[in-house]
Structure 1
Amino acid sequence: MTRTAKYHVQPVGNGNQGYFDKGGDQVDRGYAWAICATAGLIYTITDGVSFSTGVLFPEFMSYYSSPANEAAWISSLMFGAMLLSGPLIGVLISRFGARVVGFVGSLLAAGGMVASFWAPNVYYLMGTLGVLTGLGYGCIMLAALTSVTFWFDAKRGFAFGLAVVISGLGTFVISLLTAFLLDHYGLHGALLILAGVSLQGCILALLLRPAPKHLPEPLSHYPKKHFDPAMFKRVKFDIFLLACLIFATGYFPIFMFVTSWAEQVLQLNAVDAAAFLTIIAVAQLAGRMVCAVLIDRTWVNKSFLLAGALWCGGAAACLSLYCTTYKTAVMFCCVYGFGGGCAMVGLPMLTPLLVTKEQTEVASGFFVFAFGVSALLGLPAAGAVVEYLQGDFRWLMVGSGGLICAGSFVVAAIECH
């Protein structure tokens, strides 16, 4: 038997699930769960380290004597490069495969952090920690997303939910780790150690094998997926992208500035204020678990479920103006984090439902592109608002919450069209 014959793909059952190759792999079972676990660990690194820049943000301002609107560009460019590169990375994954793109991305991410060790100012960090590390994280994050999408069919929602639940634990741990590293090794030492954490993505990327029902026979006959502008003729997909844009514009600033908000409103020190990121991470984990359980239920409307969760998170942020005690601040962070956790599971799961199978990889790229636009423009704008308000973070939280609520209404409009 030739090597090519080993990769012959045949459907079984009803044609929607249970595809297999003669090597014994199947979607929705077997090695698919290894892909799910791998994706969870990849998200642990990308989500955990990128969102932990909220812990690093006050240190950026104090170490480099930088105003909030300048320091915010570091995280803005990281999220922007990570997410705006989505369409390009989607095409690269179609051409070279998730394994190669993820491996190279991990090297880029780690290299950007190592280069940040010698950063003399925030402008240097914008290029290294912002652009290089963000681009690397974008590569490995989308490689994991597309791998889960194609290794699962009937159990896709549950699998992706499980992966982001795993990453929720990682976000919780890495936020604590980042605060610990800052306290013991300083800013540059923390960045160097986080570079080592990012480098583990190379090992994880090697586990991202092609899904059986997409294995080539022969390889040269494998249909490549390219940008298809017809996806934008699908009005529901356009509405979905708009919802992501509005929601993320409100979501990112809260996560980035919540520690500074806690220091100002509750008069906490930097270590105690950083605990609110941990609270949000735990609440996100709960939201991810609940959404993962509910999202694939036949009696659940995915759009309305997400709209409700997002609205609650946005409303909590709007009411943060009245959170002047530690207990009420914790309640605000819990509800906001829970809504965000639901979004992390539910929004990616809507993407393949709104486009064709052939458009899924590139459509996923545009999904993260929408988040990238929000991060690139929203965070510096939020920093400028804080500067205009002379360092008052309270109204920034209220305005961000309003944007999240607006995004929830647009999500609900997907079903109304």
Structure 2
Amino acid sequence: MNTQSSKKALDGGWGWVIVVACFMAQFLAYGSPQSVGVLYPEWLHAFQEGKGMTAWVGSLVSGVGLIASPVCSACVDNFGARPVTIFSGVMVAGGLMLSAFAPSVQFLIFSYGIVLGLGSGLVYAATLTITCQYFDKRRGLALGIVTTGTSAGGFLYATAQNELIVHFGLEGCLLIIGALSLNLMACAGFMRPLNMPGYYLKQKAALEHTEEQLFEKLPADNLQTTPGTVEKPMTIKDLLITIDAKDISTVEKNRSFMAGSAIVKMIKKNYRAYLKYINTTADFLHNRKFMALCISIFLFTLGAFPPVLFMEDVALSEGFIAEVSIIPLVSIGAIMSGVGKLVLGILADVKWMDSVFLYAFTLLVTGTALLLIPVSTSYTGLQVLSAVMGFFSGNWSLTSYITTSIVGLDNLTQAHGILMFFGGFGIMIGPPVVGWFFDWTQSYDLAFYFSGGSVLLGGVTLFLCALPCWDKKKAGIDRPIIEYTSNCDKIASVA
């Protein structure tokens, strides 16, 4: 976000159109990835691979997009939310349609995991960035509504994909879902930019600089008009045409020198930009709260994402086939996640509510629910635990809110990209680790104890690092110590 082109957030008006468009964009992009647990048993049956290897497909589709968040955020900063969303529509649809013709799990890892994952990551970065630009006082509510799109998509797509597989097979299901995702381009049409993206600002500055040079360097007699003609303002094209042959030959002679100097300038400019980016990233990581948030979101995604992929298989492994209801466990978790995003987003806007402690509380409850999965003895128990974990996994609506409160709105895009990198890394390795635990022990018990312990550790870490006593200690250290001399004539202040 360029601070020079920033405008005041509207907190309404066209902002609500942006919210609806972003909601639908996340609905279309994340519907299938959020309900990948429905496709997971089908892929196990179709390719006869181990659960650890097949789990890479579901982990990469969510992890790759988050790991690439710094790149996705840079794309949104430079080109704007609308072009990025249009391009992501092509990637999401292409990834789903390619997956319909996958001959192996390895091909699925590329088509569904990487291509679809990157497309979804671009949508996520674009929708959150433009929503934060349009809202200030109601940012928590707006982000809660937007991120509910992923939950609504997961709820409806889980049931829809089950029915489509029954009627059209796995290939037909993926083709139909891929065709629906092309509507991302229609959603992008409503994303009117509030702030001009960096790429267009650079182009505008270059054009203005070119105009100044032409007006300064062109000979005066080239701009004279013949008697009897009406004077009119000359365009850039007209000015370029008036350059005579002598000027053109001079340009030709100096072209190689100019090209070389331009390359050197570009390298120096990009070097300074990259150096500034690295220094800013280092500053973020030196922030205690931000670093604690990065660690906690890594541990949260490491442990809390596997249930999205494995809950259906857990029910089958425990022999609860006769009790399975029409609504899958994935759908229950997804719809409760949507409710949680709305409720937690509204709570974040409450003045006396500390969003960091609220996020830490959601991790503690989620970790406890994960530890209870191995001791559950009925399908009803799994449904209740899925609902609890789904509700508190709605804390995704708090990440942008907390990041903005820690680093400020101007640094949101870069800081959020770093945060999502940690989250994506956890999502990417979590499901394969759980799958390998099952392949090793032929039971999910040890795997879910590991998952629950990781999430609990993340919640405790964030809670301890966010305690106000740390700020009091720092204030005590920074306070100057006043020493009085024996004759009271001089006072020495030592920082």
Fold agreement, TM-score > 0.5: yes
Percent sequence identity over aligned pairs: 26
1:340-380 deviations in whole A, cap 9, x for unaligned? 12x12122321111213332111111122111101222222
Whether the 8 Å contact between 1:99 and 1:206 is mirrored in structure 2 is yes
Q: 2:78 aligns with which of 70, 95, 104?
A: 95
Whether the 8 Å contact between 1:266 and 1:325 is mirrored in structure 2 is no
Aligned residue number for residue 290 of structure 1: 343
Whether the 8 Å contact between 1:262 and 1:273 is mirrored in structure 2 is no
1:2-47 deviations in whole A, cap 9, x for unaligned? xxxxxx9797xxxxxxx3xxxxxx6211111111111111221233
Matched residue SS, 2:136: coil
Aligned residue number for residue 220 of structure 1: 204
Cα distance, 1:219 vs. partner?
6.7
Matched residue SS, 1:29: coil
Whether the 8 Å contact between 1:55 and 1:179 is mirrored in structure 2 is yes
Q: What is the aligned length?
A: 394
Matched residue SS, 1:95: helix
Cα distance, 1:393 vs. partner?
1.9
Counterparts of 1:71-220 in structure 2, within 5 Å, are 71-211=54-194, 220=204
Letter in 1 for 2:352: W
Between 301-310 and 166-175, report the one with greater CA deviation: 166-175
1:127-166 deviations in whole A, cap 9, x for unaligned? 1111111111111111101111111111111111122234
1:256-303 deviations in whole A, cap 9, x for unaligned? 101100111243169748611111122212212221221110111111
Aligned residue number for residue 62 of structure 1: 45
List alignment gaps of at least 5 residues for structure 2.
207-272, 471-495
Letter in 2 for 1:405: L
CA distance in 2: counterparts of 1:241 and 1:175, whole angstroms: 30
Counterparts of 1:179-328 in structure 2, within 5 Å, are 179-211=162-194, 220=204, 227=277, 228-229=280-281, 230-268=283-321, 272=325, 275-328=328-381
Between 201-210 and 86-95, report the one with greater CA deviation: 201-210
Aligned residue number for residue 5 of structure 1: none
Q: 1:358 aligns with which of 382, 387, 410?
A: 410
Residue 385, structure 1, aligned to residue 434, structure 2? no
Matched residue SS, 2:328: helix
Distance change >3 Å, CA 51–CA 10, structure 1 → 2: closer
Whether the 8 Å contact between 2:79 and 2:197 is mirrored in structure 1 is no
Cα distance, 1:221 vs. partner?
5.3
Q: 1:344 aligns with which of 393, 396, 402?
A: 396
CA distance in 1: counterparts of 2:45 and 2:118, whole angstroms: 26
Distance change >3 Å, CA 153–CA 410, structure 1 → 2: same
Between 61-70 and 344-353, report the one with greater CA deviation: 344-353
Q: TM-score, structure 2 length as denominator?
A: 0.75
Residue 395, structure 1, aligned to residue 446, structure 2? yes
Matched residue SS, 1:386: helix
Distance change >3 Å, CA 322–CA 58, structure 1 → 2: same
Aligned residue number for residue 455 of structure 2: 404
Matched residue SS, 1:119: coil
Letter in 1 for 2:379: Y
CA distance in 1: counterparts of 2:430 and 2:149, whole angstroms: 28
Q: TM-score, structure 1 length as denominator?
A: 0.88
Distance change >3 Å, CA 356–CA 306, structure 1 → 2: closer
Aligned residue number for residue 229 of structure 2: none
CA distance in 1: counterparts of 2:465 and 2:31, whole angstroms: 30
Residue 376, structure 1, aligned to residue 462, structure 2? no
CA distance in 1: counterparts of 2:399 and 2:343, whole angstroms: 14
Whether the 8 Å contact between 2:320 and 2:379 is mirrored in structure 1 is no
Whether the 8 Å contact between 1:78 and 1:129 is mirrored in structure 2 is yes
Distance change >3 Å, CA 90–CA 9, structure 1 → 2: closer
Distance change >3 Å, CA 273–CA 251, structure 1 → 2: farther
1:367-402 deviations in whole A, cap 9, x for unaligned? 221111012222222211111112x12332232122
CA distance in 1: counterparts of 2:6 and 2:376, whole angstroms: 58
CA distance in 1: counterparts of 2:324 and 2:106, whole angstroms: 26
CA RMSD in angstroms, aligned pairs only: 2.4
List alignment gaps of at least 5 residues for structure 1.
1-7, 12-18, 20-25
The structure with the largest alpha-carbon Rg is 2
Distance change >3 Å, CA 269–CA 180, structure 1 → 2: farther
Matched residue SS, 2:317: helix
